[in-house]
Amino acid sequence: MLLTRLTARSVPPGWPAALAPVAHLAERGLTLTSPVAFLVGENGSGKSTILEAIADVCGINSASGKAGTRYASSSGPETPLGEVLDADLTATGLRLVRGPRLKRRAFFFRAETLFNLGQNVSGLHGFWEDDLTEQSHGEGFFTVLERMVSGPGLFLLDEPEAALSFHSCVRLVGFMHRVARQGGQIICATHSPVLTRLPGAEIIELGDHGMRTVAWESLRLVDDWRRFLAKPDFYLQHVLEAD
């Protein structure tokens, strides 16, 4: 483990204060117990907000990138939660995340900004050689993951399943398992019932309750998919217009 606990020194000003998971960080904090942790919840529950804040604390641009390298003109924490968040790092975590800049091993993979990042760094030393615009979205995702997410290091993934098929998601599960066995730690925000099935992973469900650890079988996300696949017409009748 590289990062073991997150705590907010106070509730940040502005809109994040309305999010129950953010209040949870201020009141109780969050202890991480597994090399792979999934943040799961509805849109707007705070998953990306928390990942962005972790990136800030680890010296990564909250828009995506690797530790020690910025792609924006601003410096210092960029998000309200990042300004008040504390991250407890182990000795190894401190070395890999906050050590000498060229030896840092931390990367924020953010699906919605990945190709903008690629325009800045594709082909540069320490990144990937391929031009992401010449690949499909799914191929581009794996090009970046296989180059930037490997071995010991802290890796933040924000909805990496966004461009992936079912079979590619299964492939990603195996990829995450290998990274964890290599000494890496992954914190991943996701809506995928496939990714969250990774054996031994910690699943943290975000919602009005704040945050809680949930078994995969009891996850609302999994239950929703089971119900939909069993009776899709029952769900669709509420959103499709009548002929």
pLDDT at 74: 45
pLDDT band at residue 76 using 50, 70 and 90 as cut-offs: very low
What does the pLDDT read at residue 150?
87
Backbone angles phi, psi at 91, to 5 degrees: -60, -40
Q: Tokens 């320490």, residue?
A: 126
pLDDT score of 56 more than 80: yes
Answer whether 175's CB lies under 8 Å from 145's CB. Answer: yes
Q: What mean pLDDT is reported for the chain?
A: 86
Helix axes 137-148, 166-181, angle to 10 degrees: 0
pTM value is 0.90
pLDDT band at 130 (very low <50, low <70, confident <90, very high): low
Confidence of residue 137 (pLDDT cuts 50, 70, 90): low
Residue 63: partners with Cβ closer than 8 Å, 6 or more residues away: 71, 72, 110, 113, 116, 117
The SS3 of residue 234 is: helix
Query: How do 3-8 and 85-89 pair as beta strands?
Result: antiparallel
Weakest-pLDDT range from 18-22, 65-69, 211-215: 65-69
Every domain of the chain and the residues it spans: 3-216
| Most confident option among 105-109, 122-126, 207-211 | 207-211
Q: At what angle do helices 47-57 and 20-27 cross, to 10 degrees?
A: 50
- Select from 3.30.70.240, 3.30.470.20, 3.20.20.450, 3.40.50.300 the CATH code of 3-216: 3.40.50.300
Average pLDDT over residues 5-9: 96
What pLDDT was estimated at residue 103?
A: 83
Q: Which residues contact 2 (CB under 8 A, 6 or more apart)?
A: 89, 90, 92, 93, 96, 97, 152, 153, 154, 185
| The pLDDT of residue 237 | 87
What is the mean predicted confidence (pLDDT) over 173-201? 97
118 pLDDT more than 90: no
Please compute the mean of the pLDDT values over residues 45-67 and round it to a whole number: 87
State whether residue 107 is helix, strand or coil.
strand
Tokens of 106: 């931390």
φ and ψ at residue 9, rounded to 5 degrees: -70, -25
What pLDDT is attached to residue 109? 85
- At residue 205, the pLDDT reads 97
Percentage above 70 pLDDT, the chain: 84
Three-class DSSP category at 39? strand
Residues 6+ apart with CB under 8 A from 154: 2, 3, 58, 67, 93, 96, 97, 105, 106, 107, 184, 185, 187
Q: Which residue has the higher pLDDT, 222 or 78?
A: 222
Query: pLDDT grade, residue 75 (50/70/90)?
Result: very low
The rounded distance, in Å, linking the Cα atoms of 37 and 198 is 10
Instruction: Reply yes or no on whether the pLDDT at 124 is more than 60.
Output: no
- Residue 126: pLDDT over 60: no
Distance separating alpha carbons of residues 104 and 87, to the nearest angstrom: 16
